[in-house]
Amino acid sequence: MLLLIIIIKCSLAVWPIPARWWSSEGRNATVVVSPQDFSFSGGGGKSRVLAAAFERYRDIFFPHSTTTTTADPAGVVVEVADPDAELGDGDERYSLRIVGGWARLRAATVWGALRGLETLSQLVEFDFGTERYTLRDASIVDGPRFAHRGLLIDCGRHFEPLPSLRRLVDAMAYAKLNVLHWHLTEDESFPMPSRVHPELQGKGAWSAGEKYAVSEIRKFVEYAKYRGVRVIPEFDVPGHATSWRNSHPEIFASGCGSDAKRGALDPGKNETWVLLGSQLADWAALFSDKFLHLGSDEVPSSCWNNSFDLEFMKSQNFSTFEDLYDYFVKRVVDLVPSRNHVILWDEAFQDATPDPARVVVQNWHDATLLRDIIAAGYRAVASPNAYWYLDHLATSWETMYAFDPADGLDGLDDDDGEDAPLLLGGEGCMWGETVDPSDLEPTVWPRLAAIAERLWSPRNLTADTQMAEPRLRAFRCLLLARGVRAGLVNSSLARSPPPNPGRCDQ
């Protein structure tokens, strides 16, 4: 019988920090493992997601080629209770027990197993002196605090080609994030393809090459799914839609002039609803996620206010901007296929009253709004601009880390004192005004990792920013080693170049 001395360590070099762990410091608690003799098995053998993860994680566990072999086999054995559970159904919990180079990984779903493989990958160590990998005995019981842990990526202000997006998804999986909120149409450009109105992309994209193809979007959604990342597309209407005007000026409100820098769709025209109806059906069919994001933020009021003398406004007895906005929001939600739920920015809560049964509200204004949103019965996603806007370069990782979306929700917790069930989670928002593929990664990372730990790890383990810092520095080095171009952990402005020669964790 193997006798182990179990000691609770103060820290574990895993990001985000697992909910509970024990790690052995005893003699013989560290075992040499080798790429040649390490097996990945289990999971029922019928999950293609898991089979692909085994392939992928073999390279991630063992990034350095070595000829070292060991006498003893080692490996990870995966047990998945329900291998057919869909991504988005939520259960990402797992447990991991490592003894003598063998890891037993248990999860309810393959999505939980993916998280466990990631944790295990961060526990494999390499010694360059001996060219040997080692694995230490440990036990971990882990699972996410919030179900929705995301990144918004804006592909309208600058185009992000798929290699950029795939690398984002890779890194999101390293940080156990699970939602890519893909902002696909903007005032500035329209890279999104359409099977019913190809002219939207044809005339709306930045250039002939800065577009996505239908088949590659499908492939990318699958790519993300294999890494446990849901793709939620956003088609922002009725504002932030000026690029639609290049091909369809007839659906734009005339109040602000036909060449206003920022236009707005005209809710008073039948053509608007005909086009939106067919287009949203086309797009909803292309994406597999339950959620669809329809924006609804920052409608340029001048485009509508000057139209209130029009017959339509009179016929509906609308007298204010909010009347018309409420009408737009409700009607556009009704256009969406019934299997979809709709996410809208928080103007839709402040200035309208959509159906809470179908609408999730994403908070981007003041974080204090979260309480009102949830108290009104809406599901909420937190991304307040004062804390979680990645384009705010002066917002430090500490500020992002210290913000807890559950603060201020006292009394809205569930019966067990857990976080309010209507608080789905949050997102870091990478708006694209000054971000293109050349500077995307160091603007996103490592700050998004701070948000990732806030959303994954328990509150009691993440109260202290100083405690987190050495692990975040180590995680930055891990990202670099895996080919992700994370910026410096500490710099007064994000994406600043290193000022001097130095270490990866400087």
459-478 residues in contact with its own copies (CB under 8 A) are 477
Asked whether the beta carbons of 486 and 476 are under 8 A apart, the reply is yes
Q: How far is the CB of 394 from its own copies (least distance, A)?
A: 14
298 is catalytic: yes
Tell me: does residue 330 bind its own copies (CB under 8 A): no
61-100 residues in contact with its own copies (CB under 8 A) are 63-67
423-452 residues in contact with its own copies (CB under 8 A) are 432-442
Strands (E), 446-498: none
Asked whether the beta carbons of 443 and 398 are under 8 A apart, the reply is no
Instruction: Return the number of other C-beta atoms located less than 10 Å from residue 143's C-beta.
Output: 18
Tell me: does residue 213 bind its own copies (CB under 8 A): yes
| Binding test (CB under 8 A) with its own copies, winner from 208, 317, 338, 357 | 208
Cross-sheet strand order for the sheet of 102-107: 6-7, 20-24, 138-142, 94-99, 102-107, 74-80, 38-42
Tell me: does residue 487 bind its own copies (CB under 8 A): yes
Question: How far is the C-alpha of 262 from the C-alpha of 140, rounded, in Å?
Answer: 51
- Which DSSP string do the residues of 421-459 spell out, in sequence order? TTEEEEEEEE--TT--TTTHHHHHTTHHHHHHHHHHS-G
94-133 residues in contact with its own copies (CB under 8 A) are 126-129, 131
Please choose, out of 75-83, 206-214, 250-258, 301-309, the segment that lies near its own copies by the rule CB under 8 A: 206-214
Q: How far is the CB of 495 from its own copies (least distance, A)?
A: 7
Tell me: does residue 481 bind its own copies (CB under 8 A): yes
Q: How far is the CB of 194 from its own copies (least distance, A)?
A: 11
Tell me: does residue 257 bind its own copies (CB under 8 A): no
Tell me: does residue 167 bind its own copies (CB under 8 A): yes
Please choose, out of 77-85, 290-298, 377-385, 484-492, the segment that lies near its own copies by the rule CB under 8 A: 484-492
Tell me: does residue 392 bind its own copies (CB under 8 A): no
Name the catalytic one among 298, 322, 398, 469.
298
Q: Is the dihedral of CA 425, 428, 431, 437 positive or negative?
A: negative
Tell me: does residue 214 bind its own copies (CB under 8 A): yes
Asked whether the beta carbons of 204 and 244 are under 8 A apart, the reply is yes
Asked whether the beta carbons of 382 and 420 are under 8 A apart, the reply is no
Tell me: does residue 486 bind its own copies (CB under 8 A): yes
Strand-strand pairing, 138-142 and 20-24 = antiparallel
| Binding test (CB under 8 A) with its own copies, winner from 163, 377, 411, 417 | 163
* Residue 220 DSSP class: H
Residue bearing tokens 């509906």: 316
Strand-strand pairing, 94-99 and 102-107 = antiparallel
Q: How far is the CB of 479 from its own copies (least distance, A)?
A: 9
Strands (E), 296-385: 341-345, 359-363, 379-382
Phi-psi group of 144: left, alpha or beta (phi > 0 → left; psi -120 to 50 → alpha; rest → beta): beta
Q: Name residue 321's amino acid.
A: F
Please choose, out of 8-16, 49-57, 195-203, 329-337, the segment that lies near its own copies by the rule CB under 8 A: 195-203
Which residue, 45 or 502, has its beta carbon nearer to its own copies?
Answer: 502
Please choose, out of 21-29, 70-78, 157-165, 307-315, the segment that lies near its own copies by the rule CB under 8 A: 157-165
Catalytic residues, by residue number, are 298
Q: Which residues bind its own copies (CB under 8 A)?
A: 63-67, 126-129, 131, 156-159, 161-164, 167, 186, 188-189, 193, 198, 201-202, 205-216, 219, 432-442, 477, 480-483, 485-488, 495, 497-505
